[in-house]
Structure 1
């Protein structure tokens, strides 16, 4: 349907130019001076050919320009009066410059200009008419180039905007998968190390560790499937985790061998989806960093709710904790910045501290 509209518009334009050409030229010849040929059937044919060919001005602009240039030149050389037939030449030159590369369109426009010059020098006003004749080609050619340049600039901007959206979506998906898989694998590794260590002497403790591995891997797979289902659906709707599941996250981390204390202050309001997910991912990634990087497997979590914001803090008694893959702490910072919140991560009094302030009101 979209491709038909330009086609219909070109046909309407061709009919309009043809009608104006025939009617206007006939009227102009009523006041024709002596020595000019009367407007007859041949003149009508020139005007109709020039005007009707504009119906193909987008599909074959160079061919149309050639046909119009020959028709206009034949019309003038035959001795007819200057008239609306030149409108067809304006449209044809513009269309060639608008829809074809500048070099190709320039060669075609130059050929059309030579035909006009031939008439000017042979049967027209002579050298004095070269400049006016040139304007009939140069002005629409320049207008077509400007329109083409602007259209290409808009297309580049749209392509760049689309590329940025695709990159942002790719980064978001990578962040989600990283958070889900990273936490699960870190917990599984910790429990596997425990199982290998105690298996020779205390097989009953190895069984406990293996059970925790099974439970952690099952939870991670369920969450990964939910995340990928949202991606496949192409929407932001889906069973995504939130702060209401913080106790499950803490229990899984405890099963992996980390001593976690959780303190929740205030009553949790109804959180916007983006805030709820971001808060959960910050806790998940912070606990993953403790599992992977901390020498002392201990973490203190505080979640402070208020009507305006959620404040999350995770502390670990280690000199430094951080993900080196560009998706750990930088990923948490990107999530918080996207919500207009505040984020910090670093050492403070011998503890590594992650602090996030997530506004609620702006997201409602």
Structure 2
């Protein structure tokens, strides 16, 4: 087995074709965050982006996207924004985690949303959670029937608010793939304001995230696209979402709405319209990411898909030093996640901080 480490922009057509075939052969690897398009786009905005190409005599059998930082520290590619990570591989391929890291020049490699079935990394998992999935394989009507059975009050309330929004503010319309850059900027401004209200770091406060999103939004092919969806009242945008899609799955990534319309829950209406459009486009599912602490995701879900968090470590001094620095922080975070009371308290504290920071900015 041969392992070559290259920059994403150095991937050739034959390698990208092989990558795509691996995704098609193993459906769980079909996530857009595991696509060559996302990897290449990350390479254009991140100097640390690399890809390990694992080959045997007949050609590539795996692709491992990652970021390489000083001291032999590796992270998942685009870890701050990526919702799916791991090795894209041919069916039946086998890997040795330590050998892979050694070839990549890494002592450790951290992951936060590992796709299921990566058995060579499983010994290094420290936390397993579930991503929320909306099953659209049998069409939107079938999904809606299931939602009505699982979450009847939620669906009834959302449909009522949708009708009321239409009566109060004008006819509702929806567009699944908006190309307008001004509306894209509007969505980002809504999302930045939401991050501030919640006391969370603003993803769009980082120039590389904005550039990445713009590059991905420009892609529209049968295998990959970055669709911007928008919900309108009387032609005025009231909610939107920017995500990624493959030929089978749509990823929930950056949803946001105009706070002026908050009482109507336009974000929930947007999600239902988006699921309807995705099903009509032939997509088989929507993945909303990890659902911990999210009531609306719990209500919308059809099923969960396992994802894991952890850190792969070689038997080296560099890995040992990194473990000593990071383990207490990781254990404290997991302890909070495992306790609903502590998680709720932390979430409320962050929102209070966000509101205080917003008030201070307006003075």
Shorter-chain TM-score: which interval?
under 0.3
Higher normalized helix content (fraction of residues): 1
Q: TM-score, normalised by structure 2?
A: 0.20
Higher normalized strand content (fraction of residues): 2
Which structure: larger Rg? 1
Q: TM-score, normalised by structure 1?
A: 0.20
